[in-house]
Structure formats: structure tokens, C-alpha cells
Amino acid sequence: MRISLTNYALPKSGAVVATVLKGGKLLPAAARLDKASKKALSRAIKGSRFSGDKGDWLEIIAPAGIDADRVLLAGVGGAADVSAVSLQNLGGNVVHKLATSGLKSATVVCDAIPGVKLEVTEMAAHIAYGANLGSYRFDKYRTTRKAKEKPSLSTVSIAVEGAGKARRAYAPLRAIADGVAFTRDLVSEPANVVFPESFAAECRKLANLGVKVEVLGEARMRRLGMGALLGVGQGSRRESQLVVMRWNGGRRSDKPVAFVGKGVTFDTGGISLKPGAGMEQMKWDMGGAGTVAGLMKAVAGRKAKANVIGIVGLVENMPDGNAQRPGDVVTSMSGQTIEVINTDAEGRLVLADALWYTQDRFKPQFMVDLATLTGAMIIALGHEHAGLFSNNDELAQRLSEAGQTVGEAVWRMPLGDAYDKLINCDVADMKNVGGRGAGSITAAQFLQRFVNDLPWAHLDIAGVAWADKGSPTVPRGGVGWGVRLLDRLVAEHYES
């Protein structure tokens, strides 16, 4: 989709989108269209249930007196209803409503709204951002669709007073959307395409944006003593990888912030094999790593003034003659030993070494890890919140607020000694599962044993990494969850 910000004017063709306030009050563009069409719009409103509430839409095809082929009225509600996220949704909805309409172009005419704090140029930028996020498609493997099912819309313009300023406001948002799309691609690709080495190759491409990328193979990891991560990958024909991405946009003296992702490119469960039904979903068990890679693309793309480190542990969890067995004991890089009770609780084993390596090598200000870690997280929070676990109230608060602002909500879950005890073990320093209760919490406690005295947060994204149901800015499939949230966290608190 081509998305552009243009000077304020009504379009000569395609669809025109104009905004209406609660109570049916037409904003200037809508009022002009109404006048030009001899009140066709007012009549259409009267003959419908459209009242200008947020999320109301009314489509009027080919009204006389108007150049455009179609008018879409978008209800925005009252000033209090208008926010960055509501405008992004508006932009996403424009794309969805017109994608297969037969029209090639749409122009959203962006009017200022009295009482809204955002400048009109910022409003336009957020509409463009939403259209960008909402127009994402992962359809490269669909080759036999009928012409009528294919999208017709190829251009969305946002017309606004001060287009130059709006373009400058959109530039960083566009970089974030590029990061989100990168994550969505990685998450949606099947596991025969995205596996540890090909994922690492995708990360290497970020060098084009100035990201320093290092890839550690199995030999390097063995020398570092990463027995926990390597044990998970040992049943796979694919070589495990650890990718280190660094964006140095801050001052030399700024301590880096670090993000660590679980990248299980396919999780069969290993010898503790998962049931067959739904196993295909485990292609997205690299969602945490996907988010970290997309975040690096976002911060580099908008040249964030911060030092940001992204580390992803990439493995494939397979059953095999060489696979690790339940009962095996592995030694992690930290020196702590782990009895692997269940080979399907593999994400924590990968993160144990990735987290330890990150703090050991980079001594960051904080670490945030992301992982599709537990099915229990979906039982607890469904698909509406990611689970947040943290040893630091300030970091937890900042993550919660960033999530609120961008529309990626997190909900804090408890940690504590009583939970930690559940993974004590007679055979080794700990076991990798804690029993039936509190599955997401014992998984987080396990991770915490690999975090020394620094602020750390763990986001269990099992319920939010993939969407079966689309929304205006998130098509079905890989969500790209967390790129916006973490970018916001960095922008708000850690840029110089």
C-alpha cells in the first residue's frame, strides 16, 4: 500500500473519507461535500443509524455533485474519544472497508477537532500509521485467488493542512510500522522457511540500517557453556543460533537497555511430544524473538537516541534419536544445573542462557525478555493482555503505561519465594517445571534464577503473539505484538 500525506484538498476520484462528530456534526470536509451534493450526506445520515459516534461508518456511493466515486463518513465521537490509537484505528478501518471495493485510491481529509490535544498534523500522521499497520498482508503463498478476491486499493492519502509537518511526524511512525511488519513476517512464516539460520540471516539484513549484528553458532555457544539452550536444539537437524543485535544511537556513556527473545522456530515439545491437534501453531513459538528483531528494526529505522541491544536465542525443539530426554541434567552458562523434567518446557531453557549471556556481557540498565512461554498464560489472561512479571516496580510501571498508550496491554502477575520453591529439585539445582498450579509464574521464577541484581521484566506473550481474529490495525496472523510498546518504552524513558 502506498501511503502519503498530501495538501488539504478534496480528491477528484476514488474514495473520500471525511469525519463527523458525535451528534452528527459535520467537520469542514464533510460539510463541503454535503453542500456540493445538495445535502445528499445529511439525507444519508438521516436515513441511517449513523450518529457520528466513534466507530460509526456510513458509505455513500457516487453522490451527484461530488468528484469522488464514493464518500465514507467516519464517526469520531467527541473530543475525549479522539486519541492516537483511535485515529490509528480509523486509518486501519479505511483500508479494510475499501480493500476489495474495486477502488484504487482513498483520501482521508483530515480536519482539526476542537478540544483535541493532538495537532492536526499529528492526527494525520496517526491515521497514516494506522492505515500502514492495517494494510499489512501475509498472502505470498496464496497463488490461486480469483481476481475479485484480490485487493483493489493501492493508495491511501491523508490530506491535511501542513502536509510537510505531517510527513515529519509520520517518519518515525513509519519506521515503527516497518518493524512491526518485519515481526509479523517472521511470526507468520512457516517453520520450513523460518528456522534458526534463516532467522539469523534476516537479522543480518538489519546491518543496512546501521545495526551491528553478530551470530553465534553451536560451537561458540558450547565454548560459552550454554548447555541449557543447546540441549533444546540437540534433536534438530537445524543448527541453533544466538543473534546479538546492537543499535548504538545514544551517547557512548549511556548504559544500554536490553531485550531478549525466545526464538523456538518450531516447538514439537521434543520427546515430551505435544498432541497433534493444533501443533502447526507452534511455528509462532519464536514470537518473542520476532518482536525483538522488529524492535531493533524500529529503533534503528527512526534513529533512536539510545543504545539498544536485542538478543534472540534460536532453536528448533524436535524429537529425534539425539534429542534430550526427560530426566537429563544440563548445565547452564550460569553454572546452575537443571533437571529437564519435561522437554516441552524448553523456552525457559533457551532464555536461561540468553539472559545470563546478556547481563554478563553487556551489563545493561535493565533486561526485558519476551516469550510465548506458557499455555497457562492464555488460561489466565486470554488474548487481551500479555503477562508481566518483574523484580522492579518502576520498570513494571513504565511497561504498563507504555502498553496503555499504544494499545498493547500488559497485566502484572506475582513473583515470590513460595513459587520459587516449586522448582527446587533433589537431582539438580532446579527442575524445569513446577507442577500443575501457577504454570506461568513458576516459569517466570525459573527465568529469575538467571537474573542477577538488575531490573528485569518478563513478558509472557503466548496469548497475544498470534491473532485468530483481526482488528483495524492488526490483521489475522502474526501480531507483531510488543514492537510498539517497547519502542514507546525506549522513546519515553531512555533516549538522550
CA distances from 194 to 135, 197, 200, 231 (A): 23, 8, 9, 20
Q: How far apart are CA 88 and CA 270, in angstroms?
A: 41
Question: Residues touching ligand BES: how many (CB under 6 A)?
Answer: 14
From the list ligand BES, Zn ion, none, partner contacted by residue 457 (C-beta under 5 to 8 A by kind): none
Q: Is 478 exposed, middle or buried (0-12, 13-18, 19+ CB in 10 A)?
A: buried
* Three-point CA angle 192, 466, 264, nearest 5°: 45
From the list ligand BES, Zn ion, none, partner contacted by residue 439 (C-beta under 5 to 8 A by kind): ligand BES
Sequence-distant (≥ 6) Cβ neighbours of residue 97 within 8 angstroms: 57, 59, 72
- Among candidate residues 104, 165, 274, 305, the one labeled active-site is 274
From the list Zn ion, ligand BES, none, partner contacted by residue 374 (C-beta under 5 to 8 A by kind): ligand BES
Q: How far apart are CA 118 and CA 114, in angstroms?
A: 10
Q: What is the CA radius of gyration of the chain?
A: 24
Q: Please tell me whether residue 73 binds ligand BES under the rule CB under 6 A.
A: no
Q: Which stretch binds ligand BES (CB under 6 A): 93-101, 106-114, 288-296, 373-381?
A: 373-381
Q: Which of 56, 344, 369, 487 binds ligand BES (CB under 6 A)?
A: 344
Closest CB 346 distance from ligand BES, rounded Å: 5
Q: Please tell me whether residue 376 binds ligand BES under the rule CB under 6 A.
A: yes
Determine contact, residues 242/290, Cβ cutoff 8 Å. no
Q: Which stretch binds ligand BES (CB under 6 A): 49-57, 161-169, 344-352, 472-480?
A: 344-352
Closest CB 378 distance from ligand BES, rounded Å: 6
Annotation marks residue 251 as catalytic: no
Q: Which stretch binds ligand BES (CB under 6 A): 55-63, 158-166, 367-375, 471-479?
A: 367-375
Half-sphere exposure for 118 (CA within 13 Å, toward CB): 24
Question: Residues touching Zn ion: how many (CB under 5 A)?
Answer: 6
Q: Which of 24, 347, 387, 480 binds Zn ion (CB under 5 A)?
A: 347
Tell me, residue by residue from 416 to 435, as one string, x for binding to ligand BES by CB under 6 A and - for no binding: -----------------x--
Q: Which of 56, 69, 185, 267 binds ligand BES (CB under 6 A)?
A: 267
- Among candidate residues 174, 348, 398, 488, the one labeled active-site is 348
The residue written with cell numbers 496517526 in the block is 126
Q: Please tell me whether residue 347 binds ligand BES under the rule CB under 6 A.
A: yes
Q: Please tell me whether residue 372 binds ligand BES under the rule CB under 6 A.
A: yes
Complete DSSP assignment for 350-381: HHHHHHHHHHHHH--S-EEEEE---HHHHHHH
For 438: left if phi > 0, alpha if psi spans -120 to 50, otherwise beta; the answer is: left
Q: How far apart are CA 105 and CA 252, in angstroms?
A: 46
Q: Please tell me whether residue 460 binds ligand BES under the rule CB under 6 A.
A: no
Question: In this structure, how many other beta carbons lie within 10 angstroms of the beta carbon of residue 249?
Answer: 18
Q: Please tell me whether residue 267 binds Zn ion under the rule CB under 5 A.
A: yes
- Residues pairing with 281 in the sheet: none
Q: Which residues form the interface with Zn ion (CB under 5 A)?
A: 264, 267, 285, 344, 346-347
Q: Which residues form the interface with ligand BES (CB under 6 A)?
A: 267, 285, 342, 344-347, 372, 374-376, 433, 439, 462
